[in-house]
């Protein structure tokens, strides 16, 4: 009876793999030994621990969102997973949130404690139940918040999904990808385990190439320069796979006569804590950036093009770290918008003649309110800009959000759900899709490849750099 | 008027109302027992504007994609809730201002609204049973609450003429259901209206603070 509805087959069912966790324990990694990075313990009553954590971590916002849902089902058609699989009722956002709501009803809310069956309240019995929940909250939702903005009751389903992820992360019942990236962030201070040497060497050769390209030996990529106007923080992907974006930014900052620096430590503004639901990791990573800015006496922080990095550093990080914001902070796209407005850089839109469309990152548009600045910039640097429909806060996820790019076991379902994004992209007729998020670059690239679309992904820095006259 | 109806209209209803109010107070105390997160960041927008926008969400069908795409469903929502308001109003008008229902036009307006809400209730019940996704998420409470509302509308439709001779059975049913509702509602999904201000306050405050709400510009298609 207890298990009845929990056994509804989820769209994906994967075993709990703990190879990386076991290795981390054997190697006695600092983060594991110190208890910051949690690992799975099969000898513990994890179901009981899950319930205890749920009760302990309950906040007013989460309780209200859990209690208020009326099961109207209006969220269904705002979800790209459901739209791509309309015959699968487990794709409806409320069903996903209900998997944790039912535990809330059984242990926190009123009616479910007395008559559980009446409100379908439920108790997870064993690790198998928790593993099934893992597949739902990590594998079938990109936490894009589209359903949240479409809920008549104001239920923040993405918040609930993150809450459930956080409880499972605490118990080590997570996909391998979540553990691996969290481990790298805890251990190395960045999510791609970039070493200090790699960081320094990459910046050095990027600088040398830029100096050669601009025929100007004074062009610099400063590191740890104190007292600058701003501290620039980046995504490790820029060091590892896409150093051009650092080069573009450095060139533009130089032309704008900017006083800026990268930090030696605390340069990674990405934050897997947002995806794993681990507030302590979130606070640590964001705290590294805030500390770097304070150490270097920067007047503000500028965040490179990254959706979840921007949201985590600009908004959530302070709340996770429990510190008040002291410095102003902005996305580099806002900085570019200002340069163009003030005439600090000159651009020629004929240098970007291809039809370009813009993909709003969920974390940038729906969770951070930046929708017009990128359009103003693109309007100045592109000859043929086309909106995709829907757009801004109603745009569909690139399908790589919520950490899904690090979780290969959920890729087939993600790409199936990407049908909606592919149709949206195709309808624009654009040859370039521009986004201001490194995660979206990879997500969109997957969609384009899988659905054989004739377009390429670029970022705003790419187009501004190309458009500079 | 039979003694039973008189008691239902007055003492029972007042007792049930007091019970509901007491439970709601406890419910609010329960909600406020949970800690609330403190906002520590500089604002990009106005929290008050965000809260206002979020609270007015249901009155702005153009601003919500699901309502814009399916105006019929939004219309059902409006009719259903107007029916709820009319039926609740009737529970006060009948015992405390019976003269209002001596005006035939008023009775007809109430009957049209409550009757339409009854039909929408049936449509919603049908959808809950037919749509596999909605069926999967539905609980016993979801079904029973909806069936009770449909019955409440039916009884209300017959009761509003407020003529003891021809509709006393309907009046008794209406007030018995009202009393039952007042006791049952705080424990059921029907109490969602109690949470509405809070969920929208929390969401609107965050979105207003970050400059997401009010939405700067509405979706615009075609070439930009």
pLDDT, tens digit (0-9, with 9 covering 90-100), for A71-80: 999 999 999 9
Asked if the structure places residue B217 within a domain, the reply is: no
Query: What angle in degrees, to the nearest 10, is found between the helix axes of B104-130 and B140-159?
Result: 160
A60 touches chain B (CB under 8 A): yes
Interface of B with A in 35-94 (CB under 8 A): 35-42, 44-45, 54, 57-58, 64-67, 69-70, 73, 77
Residue span of the structural domain in which B99 resides: 3-32+62-187
Q: How confident is the model at residue B83 (pLDDT cuts 50, 70, 90)?
A: very high
Q: What is the pLDDT of residue A292?
A: 98
- Taking residues A181-186, report their average pLDDT: 98
Asked if the structure places residue B93 within a domain, the reply is: yes
Report the C-alpha gap between A67 and B30 in whole angstroms: 12
Average pLDDT, chain B: 93
The answer to whether B139 contacts A77, with C-beta atoms less than 8 Å apart, is no
Chain B residue numbers with beta carbons less than 8 Å from the beta carbon of A60 are: 31-32, 34-36, 198, 202
Q: Is residue A109 helix, strand or coil?
A: coil
Q: In chain B, how many H helices and how many E strands?
A: 10, 0
Asked if the structure places residue B126 within a domain, the reply is: yes
Q: Are B212 and B47 in contact (CB under 8 A)?
A: no
A427 touches chain B (CB under 8 A): no
Interface size A-B, in CB pairs within 8 Å, comes to 181
A227-239 tens-digit pLDDT: 999 999 999 999 9
State the number of CA atoms in the 13 A half-sphere of A230 facing the CB. 19
Report the C-alpha gap between B157 and B151 in whole angstroms: 10
Burial class (CB in 10 A: 0-12, 13-18, 19+), B224: middle
Closest CA of chain B from A242, distance in Å: 29
State the number of CA atoms in the 13 A half-sphere of A350 facing the CB. 1
Give the closest of B27, B32, B137 to A98, CB-based. B137
Question: Is residue B185 predicted with pLDDT exceeding 70?
Answer: yes
Question: Is residue A90 predicted with pLDDT exceeding 90?
Answer: yes
Give the closest of B141, B204, B224 to A386, CB-based. B224
Please count the structural domains in chain B.
1
- What phi and psi, each to the nearest 5 degrees, are found at residue A175? -65, 155
Asked if the structure places residue B11 within a domain, the reply is: yes
What domains are there in chain A, each with its CATH number? 11-174 (1.10.1060), 192-338 (3.40.50), 344-467 (3.40.50)
Q: What is the pLDDT of residue B167?
A: 80
- The number of angstroms, rounded, from the C-alpha of A122 to the middle of its chain's C-alpha atoms is 30
- The percent of residues above 90 in pLDDT, for chain A, comes to 97
Q: How confident is the model at residue B222 (pLDDT cuts 50, 70, 90)?
A: very low
Asked if the structure places residue B169 within a domain, the reply is: yes
- Taking residues B144-166, report their average pLDDT: 94
Asked if the structure places residue B224 within a domain, the reply is: no
Question: Is residue B223 predicted with pLDDT exceeding 80?
Answer: no
Give the closest of A8, A70, A379 to B189, CB-based. A70
Q: Is residue A47 helix, strand or coil?
A: helix
Tokens coding A319: 């709340």
Q: In 10 A of CB A100, how many CB atoms?
A: 25
Tokens coding A218: 């004074």
Report the C-alpha gap between B2 and B8 in whole angstroms: 10
Q: What is the pLDDT of residue A11?
A: 83
Question: Is residue B1 predicted with pLDDT exceeding 80?
Answer: no
A214-257 tens-digit pLDDT: 999 999 999 999 999 999 999 999 999 999 999 999 999 999 99
The answer to whether B41 contacts A315, with C-beta atoms less than 8 Å apart, is yes
The answer to whether A71 contacts B38, with C-beta atoms less than 8 Å apart, is no
Q: Which phi-psi region, left, alpha or beta, contains residue A352 (left: φ > 0; alpha: ψ -120 to 50)?
A: beta
Complex-level ipTM beyond the 0.90 threshold = yes
- Taking residues B96-109, report their average pLDDT: 97
Closest CA of chain B from A24, distance in Å: 33
The answer to whether A369 contacts B211, with C-beta atoms less than 8 Å apart, is yes
Question: Is residue A166 predicted with pLDDT exceeding 60?
Answer: yes
B29-63 tens-digit pLDDT: 999 999 998 899 999 999 999 999 999 999 999 98
The answer to whether A68 contacts B195, with C-beta atoms less than 8 Å apart, is yes
Asked if the structure places residue B37 within a domain, the reply is: no
Report the C-alpha gap between A372 and B217 in whole angstroms: 8
- Taking residues B161-177, report their average pLDDT: 90
Report the C-alpha gap between A169 and A40 in whole angstroms: 9
Closest CA of chain A from B98, distance in Å: 34
Average pLDDT, chain A: 96
Report the C-alpha gap between B73 and B79 in whole angstroms: 10
- Taking residues A309-318, report their average pLDDT: 98
Please report, for the domain that includes residue B175, its CATH number. Answer: 1.20.950.20
Question: Is residue B145 predicted with pLDDT exceeding 50?
Answer: yes
Report the C-alpha gap between B193 and B210 in whole angstroms: 26
Tokens coding B211: 């400059």
Give the closest of A61, A153, A315 to B192, CB-based. A153
Report the C-alpha gap between A382 and A349 in whole angstroms: 5
Question: Is residue A7 predicted with pLDDT exceeding 70?
Answer: no
The answer to whether A74 contacts B31, with C-beta atoms less than 8 Å apart, is no
Asked if the structure places residue B71 within a domain, the reply is: yes
Least confident window among A192-206, B85-99, B156-170: B156-170
The answer to whether B216 contacts A371, with C-beta atoms less than 8 Å apart, is yes
Q: What is the pLDDT of residue A411?
A: 97
Tokens coding A182: 């969290």
Mutate to test the interface with B, among A54, A59, A71 (most CBs of B within 10 A): A71
Report the C-alpha gap between A34 and A46 in whole angstroms: 20
A343-393 tens-digit pLDDT: 999 999 999 999 999 999 999 999 999 999 999 999 999 999 999 999 999
Beta strands in A13-151 (DSSP E): none
Mutate to test the interface with A, among B61, B77, B137 (most CBs of A within 10 A): B137
Q: Are A140 and A12 in contact (CB under 8 A)?
A: yes
Q: What is the pLDDT of residue A1?
A: 39
């Amino acid at each position: 009876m207890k298990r009845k509805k929990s056994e509804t087959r989820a769209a994906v069912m994967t075993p709990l793999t703990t190879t990386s966790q076991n290795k981390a324990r054997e190697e006695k990694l600092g983060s594991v030994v110190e208890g910051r990075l949690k690992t799975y313990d099969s000898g513990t009553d994890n179901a009981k621990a899950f319930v205890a954590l749920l009760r302990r971590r309950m906040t007013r916002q989460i309780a209200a969102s859990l209690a208020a849902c009326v099961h109207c089902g209006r969220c269904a058609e705002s979800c790209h997973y459901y739209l791509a699989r309309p015959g699968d009722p487990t794709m409806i956002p409320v069903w996903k949130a209900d998997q944790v709501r039912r535990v809330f009803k059984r242990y926190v809310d009123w009616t479910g404690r007395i008559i559980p069956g009446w409100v379908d309240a439920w108790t997870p019995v064993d690790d198998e139940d928790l593993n099934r929940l893992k597949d739902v909250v990590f594998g079938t939702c990109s936490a894009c918040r589209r359903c949240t903005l479409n809920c008549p009751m104001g239920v923040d389903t993405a918040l609930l999904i993150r809450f459930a992820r956080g409880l499972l992360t605490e118990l080590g019942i997570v996909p391998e990808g979540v553990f691996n990236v969290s481990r790298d962030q805890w251990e190395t201070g960045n999510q791609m385990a970039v070493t200090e040497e790699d960081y320094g060497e990459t910046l050095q050769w990027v600088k040398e190439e830029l100096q050669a390209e601009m025929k100007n030996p004074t062009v610099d990529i400063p590191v740890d320069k104190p007292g600058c106007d701003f501290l620039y923080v980046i995504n490790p992907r820029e060091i590892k796979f896409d150093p051009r974006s650092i080069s573009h930014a450095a060139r533009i900052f130089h032309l704008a006569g900017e006083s800026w620096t990268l930090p030696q430590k605390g340069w990674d503004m990405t934050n897997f804590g947002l995806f794993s639901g681990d507030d302590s990791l979130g606070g640590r990573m964001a705290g590294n950036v805030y500390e770097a800015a304070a150490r270097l006496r920067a007047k503000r922080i500028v965040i490179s093009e990254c959706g979840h990095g921007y949201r985590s550093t600009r908004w959530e990080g302070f709340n996770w770290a429990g510190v008040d914001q002291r410095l102003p902070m902005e996305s580099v796209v806002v900085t570019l918008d200002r340069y163009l407005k003030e005439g600090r850089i000159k651009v020629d839109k004929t240098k970007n003649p291809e039809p370009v469309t813009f993909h709003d990152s969920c974390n940038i548009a729906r969770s951070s309110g930046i929708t017009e600045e990128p359009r103003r910039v693109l309007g100045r640097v592109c000859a043929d800009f086309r909106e995709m429909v829907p757009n801004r806060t109603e745009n569909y996820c690139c399908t790589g959000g919520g950490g899904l790019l690090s979780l290969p076991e959920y890729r087939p379902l993600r790409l199936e759900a990407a049908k909606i994004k592919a149709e949206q992209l195709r309808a624009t007729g654009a040859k370039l899709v521009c986004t201001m998020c490194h995660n979206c670059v990879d997500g969109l690239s997957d969609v384009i490849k899988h659905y054989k679309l004739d377009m390429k992904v670029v970022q705003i820095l790419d187009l501004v750099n190309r458009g500079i006259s | 008027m039979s003694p039973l109806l008189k008691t239902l209209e007055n003492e029972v209803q007042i007792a049930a109302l007091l019970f509901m109010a007491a439970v709601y107070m406890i419910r609010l105390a329960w909600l406020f027992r949970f800690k609330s997160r403190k906002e520590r960041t500089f604002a990009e927008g106005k929290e008050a504007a965000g809260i206002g926008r979020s609270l007015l969400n249901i009155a702005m069908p153009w601003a919500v994609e699901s309502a814009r795409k399916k105006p019929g469903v939004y219309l059902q929502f409006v009719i259903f809730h107007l029916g709820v308001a009319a039926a609740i109003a009737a529970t006060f008008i009948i015992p405390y201002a019976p003269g209002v229902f001596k005006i035939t036009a008023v009775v007809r307006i109430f009957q049209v609204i409550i009757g339409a809400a009854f039909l929408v209730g049936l449509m919603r019940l049908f959808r809950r049973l037919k749509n596999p996704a909605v069926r999967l998420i539905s609980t016993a409470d979801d079904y029973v609450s909806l069936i009770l509302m449909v019955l409440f509308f039916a009884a209300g439709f017959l009761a509003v003429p407020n003529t003891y001779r021809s509709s006393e059975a309907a009046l008794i049913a209406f007030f018995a259901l009202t009393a039952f509702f007042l006791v049952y509602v705080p424990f059921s999904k029907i109490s969602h209206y109690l949470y509405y201000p809070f969920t929208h306050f929390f969401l609107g405050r965050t979105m207003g603070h970050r400059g997401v709400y009010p939405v700067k510009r509405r979706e615009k298609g075609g070439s930009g």
